Amino acid sequence: MKIYKNDKRQHYLDKYSIAHLFSFPIEENIQVHEYKRDEWIIKEGMRPDFLFYVIEGKAKIYVTHQNGKVSLLNFINANDFIGEMELLNEVYYTKGIQSSTKTVCFALPFHHYRTQMLEDVTFLRELTKFLSIKATQMAAKYSQSLAFPLENRLADFILQTADEEVYKEKHVTVCDFLGVSYRHLLHVLAHFCELGYLKKDGRRYRIQQHNRLYELAEKMRNK
């Protein structure tokens, strides 16, 4: 993890200002963090010291079950909060948050801002909107698994997890997240390669026709 300082920090504060989300000044103690691909922003079970606001990049939420199995739960994108549940709940089992790409976040230290955030009507209104949208998207994910074929859902998954047009998620993780068999997943990936949407490169896939995958993914959003 890298912390931006001086001019670089100020550049991000100016370019991606979130001052409108709060009714109190936040610039003095806010930090700007950069995480490399696959770096842990929050480790599972360890409460964070910051409320994060993603300004660039993508991340994934993981949880480990009692039997040791690790499951991908959801995605995090720009303009999403990380650590909001730890802010709101004194007792909460923290999920693991891992960056999918280079990810840049604003980091607001809890020890400076917790009391003010929990008493700030402006911030709490914005946080409520975010949590409402997040809950709706989670519900939509489960309904989509019944309403759409794997081709649409896999196209969306590839676009969500690709880094610089390279897709390299583990097949077992994808099967678990999408609720499909290993064989079915390989069949659709091979079909995407036959159509020229993807090109297999060792254990990775390079996106060749981004627009075709986007069209498949958009069918779910336009339903």
Question: Does 2-123 match 147-221 in CATH topology?
Answer: no
Determine contact, residues 122/23, Cβ cutoff 8 Å: yes
Residue 146 reports pLDDT greater than 80:
no
pLDDT digits (tens, 9 = 90+) for 176-198: 999 899 999 999 999 999 999 99
Measure the CA–CA gap between 210 and 202, rounded to whole angstroms. 20
Write down the domain spans for the chain: 2-123, 147-221
Q: Tokens 């995605």 belong to which residue?
A: 75
What is the topology classification, in CATH, of domain 147-221? Arc Repressor Mutant, subunit A (1.10.10)
> Residue 142 and residue 128: Cα distance in Å, rounded?
22
Tens digit of each residue's pLDDT (9 = 90 or more) over 61-105: 999 888 888 889 999 999 999 999 999 988 888 999 999 999 999
**Residue 223 pLDDT > 60, yes or no?**
no
**Backbone dihedral region for residue 49 (phi beyond 0: left; psi -120 to 50: alpha; all else: beta):** alpha
CATH class of the domain defined by 2-123: mainly beta
Kindly state the average pLDDT of the residues 42-52: 94
Per-residue model confidence (pLDDT) at position 90? 83
Q: Which pLDDT score is estimated for 139?
A: 77
**SS3 call for 130:** helix
Count of other CB atoms within 10 angstroms of residue 166 = 12
Supply the pLDDT for residue 99.
95
